[in-house]
Structure 1
Amino acid sequence: MDKVTPTTEDYWIFEDYDNFTSPPDASRSRAVPCLQEDIYSFAQSYSPAIYCLVFLLAFLGNILVLCVIRRYRNSQSGGSCAFSLTDTFLLHLAISDLLLAFTLPLFAVQWAHQWVFGEAACKISGALFTLNRYSGILFLACISFDRYLAIVHAVSSGWKRNTFHAQVACALIWVCCLGLSAVDITFKQVDEVNTVGEHKVLLCRLLFLENSTQWQVGLQMVSVILGFGIPLLIMLYCYIRIFRSLCNATRHQKRKSLRLIVSLVSVFVICWAPYNCFQLIDSLHRLNLVNGGCQFGRVVDIGTLITESLGLSHCALNPLLYGFVGVKFRKELARMCKGMLGQRGWLGMKGWREGRKRKPTGSFSSAESENTSFSVMV
C-alpha cells in the first residue's frame, strides 16, 4: 500500500497502519509492519498548537497591513488616488496570506480530534489552502520583479509599470492557482480510517481511485517547481540585479539594501526549502528510486510534518518583511495607532507631523524614492 506523508495537502500522515516493508532478513516469508503510533501521537500534540499560533500571528499581521494600506490611500486626496504597483501586490499578498491562515484552525481541529465540518467544508478549505499557498508565493515573485523594473530599469520600463498591468498579473495568478485548487475540489473527501487500537476517525484527505502514486508524485513536483523553484529563481535574479545597480549608492544605502535583500531571500529559503526537500525525497521513495525501511519512512513523515508548518509560518512573516520593514509603512502604522489611542505627541509623532506638513507626501511607491530604494519595503 502506498505510503502517505504528513502534508496538509493530504491532511494526514498515513492512510492506515498496514504499511509494510521488507524485513532485513530476506529468508523471512512475511513482511514486518511499520508501527506509526509515535508519529500519530507527535502529530496530535504538535500540529494543533503550531497551526493555531501561525493563524493568530498571520491574522493580526495581515489585518494590520490591510488597515494601514486602506488608511493611507483614503488619506491621500480623499481616497481618490490609485494603488501603486507595490501597493497592489502587497494588498493581494495580504489577502492571500489571510485566507490561507483561515484554513489552519480547521485542520488544527482535525489533528486534535477528527474532521467534523462536513464534506463541503473539506473541499472548500482544501481548495482555499492550495489556492492561497501558491498565490502568496507567486505574489512575492511579482514584488521582486516590480522592484527590479523600478530600480534596474527605472527609465526604460515606465511603460511596463502601471497599475493596469499589476492588476492583470494578479488576475492571472489567481486564475492559475484556482486551476491548481481544482484537484482539491475534485478529489478531497471525508474518509473514515483506522488509527491506534482500531479507533476510527473521519479525515479530510485526497483520495485517488487510480494511479495514486502518479498523482501524488505529480502534485509534489508541481509544488516543488511552481511553489518554490521558479519563485526562488525570480527572486534571486531580481535581487542580485538590484544590488548590483545600487553599488554606486552610498555605503549606508548599500548596506541597508544588502541587509534587506539577504533577509528577504533567506527567510523565503529557510521557510520553504526544507519542506520541498522532503517532498523530493518522498517522491523518489514513492517511485522506488530511494529505498528505505520503517525508520526512513518515520523520518520522512515527521520531517514533512515539521517543515510544512515552518513553510506555513511564512504567511505570518510576510507582513514583517514586506510591510513593517518600510519606513513609510511604520510611520503610517504609528499614526493609526496614535489616532486610535487619542494621544498627542506619542512616540515623537508631533515633530514628525510638523515635518510632514512641510513636505508633500507621495504614494507608498513614489517615483522620487523607488529609483534608489525599495519604496514601501524600506
Structure 2
Amino acid sequence: MAFNNSTVNFEYEDYISEVCERVVVMETFGGSSYILIFILSIIGNCLLLYVLFLYENLTNVTNLFVLNLACSDLMLTVTLPFWAIYRLQDWFFGDFACKIVTASHIVGLYSSIILLTAMTVDRFITVVLHNMPRNKVRRQRFAALSCAAAWIISISFSVYAATKVTVEERGGRSMCTKILNDEIGYKLAVSLLFFFLLSIICFCYSAILKTVLQASNRRKHRTVVVVLCIVAAFIICLVPYMILDIIRSLNEPKNCFARQRLNIAFSICYVLAHSHCCMNPILYMLSEKWRKHLLDLFSCKKVRRVRDRKRTTGSCVTQK
C-alpha cells in the first residue's frame, strides 16, 4: 500500500510540475512561430543555394562558407515542423524520430556558430593582416578544413545528445525529452564552447571594424558589412537563449509562478534563436552583388553571365 501511495504522489508531483511549466499561450505562440520561420527559411535558403550554384564560383572562399551556412540553416529548419506540432499537441512521431530530429537540430545549431567563427577569422586575415603574403590555395584549404571541422564537431555533439533523448509519458502527454544524467555538465561544456567561439568573433570583428574605418577605400571591404550583420544577428538571436538555458540548468525556481515566468522568457528566446536560420538570406541582400543576382534571376537574364563565367551554354527561355 505504501508503494502505491508513493507512486501516486510521484505521478501527482510530476503532473503539477508539468502544469507549472506548460503555458498554453506560449505553446501556441511557439508552434505558430516555428511554422512561419520554416516557410521563410525554406524559401530564402533554397533561393540562396540556387543563386549560388547558378551565378557564383563555389571555389571562392566566401561562397564556400555561404554554401555551408545555408545547408546548416536548412538542417535546423527541417526540424521546425516537428517542434511546432510538439508544442501545439504531443510528440506523435515515435522514439526514432525523436532522436533523429534532436540530432538534426543540434547539427544545424552548432555548425552555424563554428562556421561563422571560421568565416570571421578568414575576414580578419584578409582585412587586418592584408599586408602578409597570401596564398590562395592555403586560404581555400583553411576554408574547406573549417567547414569539415564544423560538421564533424556538430555531428559528434548530436550523436551524443541523440542517445540521451527518448519518448516518455508525463502528465498525460507524450514527450520527446532528455534523459541526461549529466545534463548540467553537458550544457556547461556546450556553453563554454559557444562563448569561447563568441569571444574569438568579437575580437576579430573589433579589429576588422577598426581597420575598415581607417581605410581610405572602404568599398574594398563591402563584404565585411554583410558578414558583420550576419554575425550580429546570430549573436542577438543566440546569446539570450544560451544564457537562459544555463540559468534553467543551474537554478530552477520552486515557485510555480516564477517557473512559468522563466519558461515564458525561455520560449521567447527559443523562438528568437531559431529565427536566425531565415535571417541570413535576407542579410545577404545588403550586398549589391546578391541583389543583382536576384533581379537577373527573376527577370530571366541569366544566360550571358552564366555563359561568360562558367562557359556553359543554355538559354532562359526560347524566344519565338
Q: TM-score, normalised by structure 1?
A: 0.70
Match of 2:316 in 1: none
Instruction: Give secondary structure in 1 for the equivalent of 2:79.
Output: helix
- Matching of residues 139-150 of structure 1 within 5 Å: 139-150=115-126
Query: Could you tell me how far 1:244 is from its partner in structure 2?
Result: 1.7
Within the candidate set 281, 291, 294, 2:256 is matched to: 294
Query: Could you tell me how far 1:34 is from its partner in structure 2?
Result: 5.7
Report the CA distance shift for 1:237/1:18 in structure 2 as closer, same or farther (over 3 A): same
CA contact (8 A) 1:96 1:133 kept: yes
Report the CA distance shift for 1:82/1:255 in structure 2 as closer, same or farther (over 3 A): closer
Counterpart Cα distance in 2 of 1:88 and 1:132: 17
Counterpart Cα distance in 1 of 2:176 and 2:245: 20
Within the candidate set 203, 206, 209, 2:175 is matched to: 203
Query: Could you tell me how far 1:337 is from its partner in structure 2?
Result: 1.2
Structure 2: which amino acid aligns with 1:299?
R
- Matching of residues 78-157 of structure 1 within 5 Å: 82-156=58-132
In the alignment, does 2:193 pair up with 1:226? Answer: yes
Structure 2: which amino acid aligns with 1:191?
E
Instruction: Give secondary structure in 2 for the equivalent of 1:237.
Output: helix
Match of 1:182 in 2: 159
Query: Could you tell me how far 1:108 is from its partner in structure 2?
Result: 0.8
In the alignment, does 2:1 pair up with 1:18? Answer: no
CA contact (8 A) 1:84 1:162 kept: no
Structure 2: 5+ residue stretches without partners = 1-9, 311-320
Report the CA distance shift for 1:341/1:329 in structure 2 as closer, same or farther (over 3 A): closer
Instruction: Give secondary structure in 1 for the equivalent of 2:213.
Output: coil
Structure 2: which amino acid aligns with 1:92?
N
Counterpart Cα distance in 2 of 1:204 and 1:277: 23
CA contact (8 A) 1:188 1:205 kept: yes
Structure 1: 5+ residue stretches without partners = 1-14, 21-32, 74-80, 195-199, 343-352, 363-378
CA contact (8 A) 1:149 1:157 kept: no
Q: Which has the higher helix share?
A: 2
CA contact (8 A) 1:130 1:181 kept: yes
> For the aligned residues, what is the CA RMSD?
3.2
Match of 1:335 in 2: 296
Counterpart Cα distance in 2 of 1:338 and 1:137: 35
In the alignment, does 2:320 pair up with 1:320? Answer: no
Counterpart Cα distance in 1 of 2:42 and 2:275: 12
Counterpart Cα distance in 1 of 2:52 and 2:203: 28
Report the CA distance shift for 1:251/1:171 in structure 2 as closer, same or farther (over 3 A): closer
Counterpart Cα distance in 1 of 2:24 and 2:100: 27
Counterpart Cα distance in 2 of 1:223 and 1:84: 31
In the alignment, does 2:52 pair up with 1:52? Answer: no
Report the CA distance shift for 1:16/1:251 in structure 2 as closer, same or farther (over 3 A): farther
Counterpart Cα distance in 1 of 2:302 and 2:11: 54
Instruction: Give secondary structure in 2 for the equivalent of 1:202.
Output: strand
For residues 68-95 of structure 1, give each alpha carbon's deviation from its aligned partner in whole angstroms, at most 9, with x where no partner exists. Answer: 110013xxxxxxx551111111100000
CA contact (8 A) 1:138 1:173 kept: yes
Instruction: Give secondary structure in 2 for the equivalent of 1:192.
Output: strand
CA contact (8 A) 2:21 2:263 kept: no
Instruction: Give secondary structure in 1 for the equivalent of 2:163.
Output: helix
Instruction: Give secondary structure in 1 for the equivalent of 2:78.
Output: helix
Counterpart Cα distance in 1 of 2:60 and 2:258: 49
CA contact (8 A) 2:123 2:224 kept: no
Counterpart Cα distance in 2 of 1:140 and 1:60: 22
